Structure 1
Amino acid sequence: MKRQFTAVVAAVALALAGCASENEEPGAAGAADAPAAYPVTVGDITLDKRPEKIVSLSPSATEMLYAIGAGSQVTAVDDNSNYPPEAPKSELSGFQPNAEAIAAKAPDLVVLSNDTNKVVDQLTTLKIPVYVAASATTLDDTYKQLTDLGELTGHPDEAADTVRRMKDDIAKLVEGMPQRSTKLTYYYELDPTLYSVTSKTFIGALFSLAGLENIADPADADGKKGGYPQLSPEALISANPDLIFLADTKCCQQSLETVKARTGWANITAVKNGDVIALDDDIASRWGPRVVDLVKSITDAVAKAPA
């Protein structure tokens, strides 16, 4: 798993970044929708009836489908879709989708995050509807995908409720942050080889929303690294971030202790103050409804940091 994750980062193909309230269960987003009218058209996809055999090959899309109440219609998900736990995980791959293997599931809707292997054309030729929920670059992308999936699956009201709740929760978290005279700086770690994100990425934008300054921005000032630069240890130590966020706790077993043991890191402000925040890799790399949980991790860290 570590090799796959690092390869994605190194290729600058890691895409970011699920449910609205941490106390809510997936799919519990309000009352059931009234029966939706079909046919339904979203973009260039038209469904004549409600899909009952959905295949999701995107962990973020899987989380979205369950959050809007369409979980009972999902019959197979990819091998990386691990939330919610009851999602019917299969041998299907979202990284290398195989049209023949997907078609064997007899789906009436397939949800993908990319068109690797030109799988969309292959599935379309087989008359299987495909919705591409591409990696989000803004929160609006997340909201649009939730809305689109709500329309396609017959849950438009629950999708609208989920979007509204996410917006409200994020706004409350940001508004509740303490006022500071100067911005806190942060380093966001994708893997132990010091790949990070800039403020121009989906994840980086969440930190900007919280008023934080990203020490990785100068490493990709011209944008040639796609927002995912690899920092040098010297530059990072010199930047001396106030906060460090680790998005490699599962894949690479990173923690405050492992960071403190790195050469020269013990004197970084974040390390000295214990402000090294261990994130859930999955939540940190997906753009579904649990993005609210990530924003909460950010705002909680800011609130606890020394003034």
Structure 2
Amino acid sequence: MRFPALSLLLSLFFICTHVQADAAWPRTIATPKGPFTLQQPPQRIVSTSVTLSGTLLAINAPLIGSGATSRNSSVSDAQGFFTQWSAMAKARQVKPLYISQPNAEAIAAEAPDLIVIAATGGDSALRLYDQLQTIASVLVIDYGDKSWQALTLQLGEITGHEADANKVIAAFDQRVEAVRHKITLPPQPTSALVYYEDGRGMNLWTPASAQGALLQDLGFTLAAPPASFQGSTSMGKRNDIIQLNGENMADGITGNTLLLFAADEKTVPQVAKNPFLAHLPAVQQHDIFAVGNDTFRLDYYSASNMLSSIERQFTR
């Protein structure tokens, strides 16, 4: 038995949804270079940033090539891809285009229709912006001023993969909530930092960083350095880190717990033995914890690993 009215409604719904989908393009987002517009969903994306590549993979964007970092390090595989997403990149047949120094010729050879660049950081190819614009549309993304979730939504929106972005974020946020209720926090507040191997300096994560935002979501309170403290600003103008250097670096550490990023358990005794830090309460009370070598720059994969590390160390 047929229902003409229902069939008509379904037909109208089908037409309307397709009209809405077509009307979704072109799309425009705000970037450090001003408004950026894509006329249609990209089909061949090249990322010049190993930080952004992981997020593009997480949302199933059509990533065909990526810049790489030094091979076979504590954070990278034999291709120079970050270990947290290297298996996914291999499965998707993502091509490593160059090591560290951006190469416009290698990018052009892949015939991309979208090139993604980081606005700041060691993996930024911003100096090649004008040259890369002659190859394809160039999207500049600032990952230093937003959480991992916000970055994922931004990339999902402009690539047409917002449904994938929302799905990944929802699953991740559910896990954050589960871990938050499972752990017992160490003494607060917490100084979250990257410790230099030479022991002469560190980067302190601020609430504006993806790392700081995730810690706050888990219930941590970030320790702020004294108002009078002024950190240097290399690696471009960034508000996600404060650089602490030299004998006075301990002046910026006010937390009762130290969380070490871009570090494993081998770094903990190095920090504990640093004479410039010996007087800190966190050092004296042995409240020093490492959250993983892959946590210097967060994407879905490294953030998930960070959650696992925190869950393992603070579940009582």
Q: Hey, what does 1:131 align to over in structure 2?
A: 139
TM-superposed CA distance for 1:154, in Å, is 4.4
1-structure distance, mates of 2:117, 2:85: 18
Query: Residues 145 and 205 (structure 1 numbering): CA distance in 2 closer, same or farther, change over 3 Å?
Result: closer
Separation (CA, whole Å) in 1 of partners of 2:306 and 2:108: 35
Question: In structure 1, which of residues 98, 107, 110 is the aligned counterpart of residue 112 of structure 2?
Answer: 107
Is 1:63 aligned with 2:54? yes
CA distance in 1, matches of 2:231, 2:272: 30
Decide whether aligned partners of structure 1 residues 178 and 47 sit closer, same or farther in structure 2, where only a CA change above 3 A counts.
Answer: same
Inter-CA distance 259–179: structure 2 relative to 1 (3 Å threshold): closer
**1:45 match:** 37
Q: Which runs of 5+ in 1 are unaligned?
A: 1-33
Which structure 2 segments of 5+ residues have no match? 1-17, 30-35, 70-80, 234-238
The structure 2 residue matched to 1:79, chosen from 51, 62, 68, is 68
Cα-Cα RMSD: 3.8
Give the alignment of 1:1-307 within 5 angstroms.
39-43=25-29, 44-51=36-43, 53-70=44-61, 73-80=62-69, 81-82=81-82, 83-86=84-87, 87=89, 88-92=94-98, 96-114=101-119, 116-126=125-135, 128-139=136-147, 142-178=148-184, 183-186=188-191, 188-191=193-196, 192-202=199-209, 203-209=211-217, 210-214=219-223, 217-218=225-226, 221=229, 227-231=241-245, 233=247, 236=250, 241-249=255-263, 254-263=266-275, 269-271=281-283, 274-288=286-300, 290-295=302-307, 297-298=309-310, 301=313
Output one character per residue of 1:179-227: Cα deviation in whole Å (capped at 9) or x when no partner: 79x734435234132222153440334444433342x612765677554
**Per the alignment, do residues 42 and 97 of structure 1 end up closer, same or farther by CA in structure 2, a change over 3 Å counting?**
farther
Q: CA deviation at 1:113?
A: 1.0
C-alpha distance in 2 between matches for 1:66 and 1:131: 16
Which amino acid in 1 is paired with 2:194?
E
Q: 1:156 to 1:264 in 2, by over 3 A?
A: closer
In structure 2, do the counterparts of structure 1 residues 172 and 137 end up closer, same or farther at CA, with 3 Å as the change threshold?
farther
Supply the distance in 2 between the matched residues of 1:170 and 1:266 (Cα, whole angstroms).
Answer: 33
Say whether the 8 Å CA contact 2:188–2:220 is kept in structure 1: yes
Q: Distance in 2 between matches of 1:220 and 1:206?
A: 26
Q: Distance in 1 between matches of 2:296 and 2:54?
A: 13
With 201-210 and 61-70 compared, the bigger mean Cα shift is at: 201-210
> Secondary structure in 1 aligned to 2:64?
strand
The structure number with the bigger radius of gyration is: 2
Look up the match of 1:14: none
- Give the total of aligned pairs: 259
Q: When you count strand as a share of all residues, which structure comes out higher? A: 2
Q: Is contact 2:192-2:261 (8 Å) kept?
A: no
Structure number with the bigger relative contact order (C-alpha 8 A, sep ≥ 6) is 1
Contact residue 232 and residue 244 of structure 2 kept, 8 A: no
TM-superposed CA distance for 1:64, in Å, is: 1.2
Give the Å deviation of 1:161: 0.5
Question: 41-50 or 188-197, which moves further after superposition?
Answer: 41-50
Q: 1:234 to 1:62 in 2, by over 3 A?
A: closer
**Separation in structure 2 between the aligned mates of residue 196 and residue 170 of structure 1, nearest angstrom:** 25
**CA deviation after TM superposition for structure 1 residue 144, in Å:** 3.9
Distance 1:151 1:124, change over 3 A: same
Q: Is the 8 A contact 2:250 2:276 kept in 1?
A: no
Partner amino acid for 2:143? S
CA spacing shift, 1:220–1:302, aligned 2, 3 Å: farther
Among the aligned pairs, what percent are the same residue? Answer: 22
Q: Tell me the distance in 2 between the aligned counterparts of 1:46 and 1:179.
A: 44
Contact 2:191–2:259 at 8 Å: present in 1 too? yes
Q: Distance in 1 between matches of 2:185 and 2:291?
A: 24
